């Protein structure tokens, strides 16, 4: 048994972190859920209790369905490109390219990750611009004029265009995480595999993927929770438009809270976002743990 | 050695914690010798108004050495969001920009604004210096909360050279308008330039068409959040008219901002555009003669076709201000006649001070526009300032879809009615 003072002393060391965490993470979290039961505006102080109205409204608000679908598409594309695609790129960088070329390209791919998302989004409004935007000009140069469109204003292309920007930025970052993991795989595994006659692709699936499992898990959590909390890209590029076609949960929450002045409903949406990311993280944590040997 | 290094590290760490905390505590350093600092928040970080207000503030500080003015500014939509958060709090800016209409009303109902009544009662000459019609929109339930700086009206600006060349007359009825547009389209031109990416531009078209179409009583009744139903068939018809017009506009309107569209109009790419009177200041590069006409009367419309759409904008004082007297002095300075003249000259806006635009060295058309506003039978406020933000949001996003062919006028009104029902329930 530990002496009481020791336990007390330990608790004392934890206290500052606990206080900060409580004040800046747990208190807002709980307050937010409580706010969901009221109706109030950002400016006025008066809060009117409305029971579960805000949460019930979530169920039959068609824009919530649009936003959820968009977040889901965001997550699926992000998993394919960032969790899957970035692993392929990382394997290519570490296994196929020499250290010099690999090093240079690694920096090139990582570069977007150090630029602010706001800057990137503004940059891409020029790329996507319908009048003389880079993308449309490029299409004209290679004789694909018929593909030109107002990328961010066309209902069919807006969401895809927004998602593409996120992939462009994030692949380099996830790729860097993978490179670190792949560099720790012993070279002998690959030598043994090639002696056994395994080709590059077989080596990738039988050695690289299983060895990088831990990092794939990390990348999954990062991208999926990122996809459900995404805000900057759609907000700056389209503001959720045209109509509500590129609305995601976070932009809709912002719109409700600060534009439509429905802080209570915005809190309910925030609770929904929290619930979704919580459940997803739990599911992923549990399923990956069960796979451990 | 090791200990010294450790102590040093700890000291730096503690210092790093304290510095931001200290910065929090002393956000408003009181200047020496009794100088008072007031915060001024406006919505023009862009030119020419940014420079105009910077200059105005420095002239004010020169004349009033006992007052220092802290200026902060963010652009339109961001301004709306930010003001809603700071207004009414202890950190509210002393003097703020405000639109008239629902924006002002919301601030007033949030108990964030100072009642200017007593101050104006002591200074009747200040009240009388403004056009009366421009003061009224800043009153809520008979209480004056704000004072106007600029008057606004929305009109079709057209390229006189193109009209003359094709022998076109200025349209006064809907049929004449469509004939003119057909003629222009027949010449291979895009008749109307439009940027619908900014949703407020939709509000300007739809708001005017609604006013033309609807019975004035219905139009006014629906502005009351407790009663608004939006079930009159005139609303759907107004949207159908808008759809009709959109066939004569640039195809990529949904991807174009108002600013880009305006530049295209100035470059002569299309002969007609729906713009605000205050935008004349941007037309410096236009290589053609321009003039204006009001939205033509609409067949079967029950509204007065002589009305102009537009509303003044101005300044309010925070209720929580610690320096009411200094804030009032600053507002009075900004809105005096000399500065009204200067404002009109340097920014192209139309000052709401009586006679200021006439005295200013501005293009003749600005004087005519100002006179038009003063003479107008009545003003229709902007749609996005007339209704609750929830209704506005539904109205504008769904109409934006309608312009892209993804929604019907009936569908738009259905969404508006649903939003109106929610607003009715809440009030």
Q: Which domains does chain B have, with CATH numbers?
A: 36-152+311-379 (3.40.190.10), 154-309+388-426 (3.40.190.10)
Q: B107, B246, B260, B397: best mutation site toward chain A, by most A Cβ within 10 Å?
A: B397
- Distance linking the first and last C-alpha atoms of chain B: 71
Q: Is B404 on the interface with A (CB under 8 A)?
A: yes
Residues B193 and B250: beta-carbon distance below 8 Å:
yes
Query: How many angstroms separate the CA of residue A140 from the nearest CA in chain B?
Result: 17
Q: Domains (ranges, CATH) in chain A?
A: 75-247 (1.10.3720.10)
pLDDT bracket for residue B280 (50, 70, 90): confident
Each residue of B76-106: pLDDT tens digit? 778 888 888 888 777 889 999 999 888 898 8
Distance CA B105, CA B385 (A): 9
- Contacts with B254 from chain A: Cβ below 8 Å: 150, 153-154, 242
Task: Please report which confidence band the pLDDT of residue B32 belongs to, taking 50, 70 and 90 as the band edges.
Answer: low
pLDDT in tens, chain A (293 residues): 556 677 788 888 888 899 999 999 999 999 999 999 988 877 656 788 888 889 999 998 889 999 999 999 999 999 999 999 999 999 988 888 877 888 888 888 889 888 998 899 889 988 998 888 899 999 989 988 888 888 888 888 999 999 999 999 999 899 999 998 998 899 889 889 989 888 888 889 988 999 888 889 889 888 988 999 999 999 988 888 788 899 999 999 999 988 888 889 999 999 999 999 889 888 877 877 654 44
pLDDT over 50 at B28, yes or no: no
Q: pTM of the prediction?
A: 0.81
pLDDT digits (tens, 9 = 90+) for A151-183: 888 888 999 999 999 999 999 899 999 998 998
How far is Cα B253 from Cα B256, in angstroms, rounded to an integer? 5
Q: Is the pLDDT at B26 greater than 80, yes or no?
A: no
Closest-CA distance of chain B to residue A51, Å:
13
pLDDT of the residue at B21 = 44
User: What is the rounded distance in angstroms from the CA atom of residue A66 to the CA atom of residue B401?
Assistant: 14
Please give the residue of chain B at the shortest CA–CA distance from A129: B255
Q: Render B355-410 in DSSP notation, one character per residue.
A: THHHHS---HHHHHHHHHHHH-S-EEPPHHHHS-HHHHHHHHHHHHHHHTTSS-HH
**DSSP states of B52-79:** HHHHHHHHHHHH-TTEEEEEEE--HHHH
Q: Is the pLDDT of residue B148 over 70?
A: yes
pLDDT band at B355 (very low <50, low <70, confident <90, very high): confident
Among B84, B254, B406, the residue with its CB nearest the CB of A150 is B254
The two structure tokens encoding residue B248: 């004569």
Sign of CA dihedral B222, B227, B229, B232: negative
Contact across the interface for B397 and A244, Cβ inside 8 Å: yes
Integer Cα distance of A209 and B344 in angstroms: 68
Strand boundaries in chain A, DSSP class E = 38-39, 48-49
What are A22-47's pLDDT values in tens digits? 999 999 999 999 999 988 877 656 78
ipTM of the complex: 0.76
Q: Is B424 on the interface with A (CB under 8 A)?
A: no
Which of A24, A43, A237, A251 to substitute to test the interface with B, most B CBs within 10 Å? Answer: A43
Whether residue B158 has pLDDT greater than 60: yes
* Burial (CB count <10 Å: 0-12, 13-18, 19+), residue B45: middle
Task: Verify whether the Cβ–Cβ distance B255 to A130 is below 8 Å.
Answer: yes
Q: With an 8 Å Cβ cutoff, are B88 and A258 in contact?
A: no
Residue B301 near residue B212 (C-beta atoms within 8 A): yes
The answer, for A148 touching chain B at a CB cutoff of 8 Å, is: no
Confidence of residue B405 (pLDDT cuts 50, 70, 90): confident
Q: What is the pLDDT of residue A2?
A: 58
Pairing of strands B290-293, B350-351: unpaired
């Amino acid at each position: 048994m530990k002496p009481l003072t020791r336990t007390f002393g330990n608790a004392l060391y934890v206290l500052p972190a606990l206080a900060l965490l409580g004040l800046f993470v747990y208190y807002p979290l709980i307050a937010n859920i409580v706010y969901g039961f009221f109706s109030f505006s950002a400016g006025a102080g008066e809060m009117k209790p409305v029971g579960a109205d805000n949460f019930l409204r979530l169920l039959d608000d068609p824009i919530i369905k649009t936003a959820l679908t968009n977040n889901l598409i965001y997550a699926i594309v992000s998993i394919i490109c960032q969790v899957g695609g970035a692993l392929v790129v990382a394997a290519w960088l570490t296994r196929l390219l020499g250290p010099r070329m690999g090093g240079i390209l690694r920096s090139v791919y990582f570069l977007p990750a150090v630029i602010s998302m706001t800057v990137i989004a503004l940059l891409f409004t020029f790329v996507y611009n319908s009048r003389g935007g880079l993308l449309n000009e490029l299409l004209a140069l290679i004789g694909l004029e018929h593909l030109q469109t107002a990328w961010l204003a066309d209902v069919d292309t807006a969401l895809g265009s927004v998602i593409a920007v996120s992939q462009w930025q994030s692949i380099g970052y996830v790729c860097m995480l993978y490179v670190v993991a792949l560099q720790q795989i012993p070279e002998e595994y690959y030598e043994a595999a090639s002696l056994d006659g395994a080709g590059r692709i077989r080596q990738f699936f039988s050695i690289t993927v299983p060895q990088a499992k831990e990092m794939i898990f990390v990348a999954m959590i990062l991208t999926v929770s990122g996809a459900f909390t995404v805000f900057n890209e759609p907000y700056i590029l389209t503001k959720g438009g045209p109509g509500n076609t590129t609305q995601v949960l976070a932009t809709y929450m912002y719109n409700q809270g600060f534009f439509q002045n429905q802080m209570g409903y915005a809190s309910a949406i925030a609770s929904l976002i929290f619930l979704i990311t919580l459940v997803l993280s739990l599911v992923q944590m549990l399923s990956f743990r069960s796979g451990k040997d | 050695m090791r200990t010294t290094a450790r102590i040093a590290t700890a000291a730096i760490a503690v210092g790093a914690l304290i510095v931001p905390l200290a910065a929090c505590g002393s956000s408003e350093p009181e200047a020496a010798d009794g100088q008072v600092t007031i915060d001024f928040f406006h919505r023009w970080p862009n030119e020419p108004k940014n420079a105009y207000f910077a200059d105005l503030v420095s002239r004010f500080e020169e004349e009033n050495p006992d007052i220092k003015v802290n200026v902060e500014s963010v652009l339109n939509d961001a301004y709306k969001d930010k003001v809603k958060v700071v207004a009414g709090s202890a950190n509210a800016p002393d003097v703020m920009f405000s639109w008239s209409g629902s924006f002002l009303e919301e601030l007033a109902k949030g108990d964030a604004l100072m009642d200017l009544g007593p101050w104006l009662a002591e200074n009747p000459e200040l009240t009388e210096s403004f056009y009366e019609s421009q003061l009224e929109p800043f009153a809520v339930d008979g209480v004056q909360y704000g004072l106007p700086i600029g008057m606004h009206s929305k009109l079709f600006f057209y390229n006189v050279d193109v009209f003359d060349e094709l022998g076109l007359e200025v349209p006064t009825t809907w049929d004449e308008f469509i004939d003119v547009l057909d003629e222009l389209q027949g010449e291979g031109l895009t008749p109307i330039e439009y940027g619908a990416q900014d949703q407020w531009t939709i509000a300007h078209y739809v708001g005017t068409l609604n006013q033309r179409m609807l019975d004035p009583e219905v139009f006014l009744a629906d502005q009351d959040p407790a009663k608004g139903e939006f079930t009159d068939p005139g609303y759907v018809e107004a949207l159908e008219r808008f759809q009709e017009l959109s066939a004569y506009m640039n195809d990529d309107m949904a991807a174009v901002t108002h600013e880009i569209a305006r530049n295209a109009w100035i470059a002569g790419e299309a002969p007609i555009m729906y713009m605000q009177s205050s935008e004349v200041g941007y037309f410096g590069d236009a290589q053609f003669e321009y003039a204006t006409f009001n939205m033509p009367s609409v067949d079967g419309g029950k509204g007065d076709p002589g009305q102009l759409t537009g509303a003044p904008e101005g300044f309010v004082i925070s209720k929580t201000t610690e320096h009411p007297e200094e804030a009032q002095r600053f507002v009075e300075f900004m809105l005096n006649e000399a500065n009204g003249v200067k404002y009109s000259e340097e920014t192209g806006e139309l000052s709401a001070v009586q006679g200021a635009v006439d005295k200013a060295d501005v293009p003749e058309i600005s004087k005519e526009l100002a006179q038009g506003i003063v003479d107008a039978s009545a003003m229709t406020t902007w749609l996005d300032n007339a209704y609750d933000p929830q209704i506005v949001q539904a109205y504008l996003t769904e109409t934006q879809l309608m312009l892209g062919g993804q929604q019907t006028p009936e569908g738009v009104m259905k969404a508006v009615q649903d939003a109106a029902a929610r607003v009715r329930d809440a009030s």
